[in-house]
Amino acid sequence: MQQWKCTVCGYVYDPVEGDADNGVPPGTPFEELPDGWACPICGAGKDLFEKI
Known binding-site positions for Fe cation:
6, 9, 39, 42
Q: Are 19 and 37 in contact (CB under 8 A)?
A: yes
List beta partners, residue 44.
none
Annotated binding site: 6, 9, 39, 42
Burial class (CB within 10 angstroms; exposed 0-12, middle 13-18, buried 19+) of 37: middle
